Structure 1
Amino acid sequence: MSDKSTPLTRTSTIDDFLFDHLKHSFGGCDPVMYHLASAVMPMFNQPDESNRLFIDQIIMAMQAHLSVNYGRRSVAISSKHRGLAPWQQRRAKELLSAHIVDGVSVEKLARECSFSRCHFSRAFKLSLGLSPHQYLLQMRVDKAKKQLMNPTLKITEVAIDCGFSDSSHFTKVFGRCTGFSPSYWRQLNTGLL
């Protein structure tokens, strides 16, 4: 058995552990990897009867085992303290923007970002400082500010166009975000005062 270590770059998308390279020795046997592979092999022989969730769980167990036992600079990261990756932030913002009026479920956002609903909400808030719902409301308020600069639009038109259920809901959320009512904000920012 050689003692020479060869670095293998990590290609997984699972971020439970951070490491730069894998170190391994040729000629060795890893009983954990052997048994995990043995558990999943029958699934590959009968793909029509395979359970994708089971295979995914085995692969995740393999990745965790490799990172802990063979990863250089292994550092476990608690999922409670991990935010969204940049691609996940972009995807979540795109979906929220596309559904600014009708809204989008947290389940759909989480699914698109490959997270569970609960974990996604925590990671989103950790990354962006607001819950997904609060972020959507802020996006609506920002859109409303642009529309309020047009003095010919009625407050109720702006409210409905920005996804608020009615003008009172709009006034409440807008006031909470800006400290002003929509009409007063309009007066301040369009020089009508």
Structure 2
Amino acid sequence: IGKIADDAEMPGVTSLSVETASKDIVLANLARALIPALEKPDEANALFVEQMTTAIGTYLVQRYGGRPTVASDRSGSLSRTHEDLAKSLLLENLDGNVSISEVAQMCNLSRGYFIRAFRETTGMTPYQWVLRERIDRARDLLRTSKTPLAEVAIACGFADQSHFTRVFAGIVGTTPGNWRRNT
């Protein structure tokens, strides 16, 4: 709990209060968002899972830690240097082989603060940003080569072609095959 509390910028929280027979809609929704990753761990992105567990831990500490959240006196966004460093590390590891903790540590920031500041700076979470970059890389490959979709999927860090197709269609609005044919 101590590390989670520190990341949530609530040092000193050492225990959580217990509430029985109460519904926590926020916690239920956070857990619900994590279910697909737990059901298909081979397709789960480590950055997404780490962000979700950070969000759940932060929420638990803030909600049940017994102390009101104190506003940070730091700016809510990343410095240009930290933004460039974080993006560079994430781009070098589009396959998901870097954790949020590692990127935050390289920026000398707590994991929780880093996620919030990255979102404030870029308008998206690190995971969303990585997905967008993967899709941009896929579009370049689809536009400039005849590489089979399954190979594009692997080259862009997706578990397989079906995972790639679902994510691509969700972001672009059409399947990779249709997109390639129409560009």
Q: What is the TM-score with the length of structure 2 in the denominator?
A: 0.58
Aligned to 1:36: none
Which structure: larger Rg? Answer: 1
Tell me the CA shift for residue 174 of structure 1.
0.7
Matched residues in 2 for 1:128 and 1:136: separation?
12
Of 142, 145, 149 in structure 2, the residue corresponding to residue 148 of structure 1 is 142
1:135 aligns with 129
Query: Could you tell me how far apart the structure 1 residues matched to 2:84 and 2:179 are?
Result: 30
AA aligned to 2:150 is T
Are 1:97 and 2:113 matched, yes or no? Answer: no
- Displacement of 1:172: 1.0
Q: TM-score, normalised by structure 1?
A: 0.55
Amino acid across the alignment from 1:112 = M
Structure 1 residue 168 displacement after superposition:
1.0
The alignment status of 1:157 with 2:155, answered yes or no, reads: no
d(CA) in 1 for partners of 2:122, 2:129:
8
Change over 3 Å in CA distance of 1:165–1:79 after alignment to 2: farther
| Other-structure match for 1:28 | none
Amino acid at match of 2:169: G
Matched residues, number: 113
Tell me how far 1:187 sits from its aligned partner.
0.8
Q: Aligned-pair distance for 1:79?
A: 5.0
1:187 maps to 181
1:88 matched residue in structure 2: 82
CA distance in structure 1 between the aligned counterparts of 2:73 and 2:127, rounded to whole angstroms: 21
Distance in 2 separating the partners of 1:128 and 1:103? 21
Cα offset for 1:100?
A: 1.3
Q: Superposition RMSD on alpha carbons, in Å?
A: 1.6
User: Sequence identity, in percent?
Assistant: 37
Runs of 4 or more, structure 1, over 3 Å off, are 77-81
Alignment of 1:12-31 (within 5 A): none
| Whole-angstrom distance in 2 between the partners of 1:85 and 1:151 | 37
Partner of 1:126: 120
Aligned letter for 1:87? T
Where do 5+ consecutive residues of structure 1 fail to align?
Answer: 1-76
